[in-house]
Structure 1
Amino acid sequence: MATVRDRSTYLVESTAVTSSNTVKNSPKAGNYVRGPQPALYAGPNTGATWSGRGRAPAWIAGAKDRSKYLIA
């Protein structure tokens, strides 16, 4: 292409080019939401909350039935 005198035959019209930024990437399988999560459990006495992720706090760790702590 460097030796060609008329390079106009190789030009691409700008209307034919699409932007790759408009395509959204879908999440990969196996990924999960990171960062703060909404609270799923609330302590009855203190009002402390837990999202269900990570280590369970002491007020719910020993409970056999966690359904009574669920936030409706």
Structure 2
Amino acid sequence: MKTRRQGNAIVLTVPTKFGIAENVEYLAVKGADDSITFIKKKKNIFDEAIKQGQKLDATLGFPEEQPQGEEIL
């Protein structure tokens, strides 16, 4: 694959053989060695809850035990 300039952006065309659907959002992460990894963007559960008029309680389901070992930094 080869990059190309399109306006103020650099575009990397992904061949269809990779099976990536259209209009899918990805996050690009640049590594220390200048490698780039693309991660499929997931829905924000908090934004979805707000749209549906719901509240999320982050305390439910968390263990009440105290952390042990290296969990505490």
Interval of TM-score (by shorter of Structure 1 and Structure 2)? under 0.3
Higher relative contact order (CA 8 A, sep 6+): 1
Larger gyration radius, structure 1 or structure 2: 1
Higher strand proportion, which one? Answer: 2
